[in-house]
Amino acid sequence: MEANELIKKVRHIEIKTRGLSNNIFAGQYHSAFKGRGMAFSEVREYQYGDDIRDIDWNVTARFHKPYVKVFEEERELTVMLLIDVSGSLEFGTVKQMKKDMVTEIAATLAFSAIQNNDKIGVIFFSDKIEKFIPPKKGRKHILFIIRELIDFQATSRRTNIKKGLEYLTNAIKKRCTAFVISDFIDNSDFKNALTIANRKHDLVAIQVFDRRVAELPSVGLMKVKDAETGHEQWIDTSSAALRKAHREWWMKKQNILSETFTKSNVDSVSVRTDEDYVKALLNLFAKRN
């Protein structure tokens, strides 16, 4: 992308997403993730209404009555964005490509993070780690991230979510809040890596998908291409049986994905490229309060 065009696009994304984070997410982001950056402060006797998960069993056993751990909120969080940059993100049939929506969601979260005085970093992944931007603060850093989101060219078109999660677990030593933004079209098993990463960090999954992946239109013969492998084939979309089989495949895939998130205790949200991601993010934040 040419420099002038890139600057215009960065500015457009900044105006739109900073406005969203200022006006819509003010307070929502902070309250949704407030309990995730907590430091141990002291213990005190259990009081009615305390969360039993905060009971310190060692102290309780020593004094023969319940004591709870008291936590203080750390002044800042570290937020990591794990961005899928594989070939399948370069697809869109209605309003925009998946990649464009991923960019806007990531930029909105980034502005929400710096508004809250948090550090923000990025891991770009395909079937390998494409780029790591260490967490920092400030508008200049955010604009650099947005430029990369818009203009980054991956060296591989394939996906391996497990690699991205393992890198997060190993590279970020201190507990952070991490958003995995992907279409989650990945045939490899990443459940174990997801569970391990979520034990160390506070993980949130944001799935971006196109409605034509979920439901084929009846438009007769259609040439389809796998964006990651390059494989092409013709399919007859006028076949009701084919459309039904495709729909069932998608529903099964979504059910497995949802089950994976539930078993790994990871909060998640799915957003279609022709839908309002603002509403989806607000629902996600509300679910965490």
| Calpha distance 93→100 (Å, rounded) | 12
Is the model more confident about 33 or about 190?
Answer: 190
- Tokens describing residue 45: 């006797």
> Parallel, antiparallel, or unpaired: how do β-strands 267-272 and 202-209 relate?
parallel
Closest by alpha carbon to 109, among 82, 76, 85? 82
The 10 Å Cβ neighbour count of residue 201 is 20
pLDDT confidence of residue 80: 96
Query: What pLDDT band is residue 1 in, cutting at 50, 70 and 90?
Result: low
**Domains along the sequence of the chain with CATH:** 3-31+75-210+266-288 (3.40.50.410), 38-73 (no CATH)
Closest by alpha carbon to 86, among 177, 26, 21, 163? 163
Cα torsion angle, 100, 105, 109, 111, sign:
positive
Q: For residue range 132-173, what is the model confidence (pLDDT) as tens digits?
A: 999 999 889 988 998 898 888 889 988 999 999 999 999 998
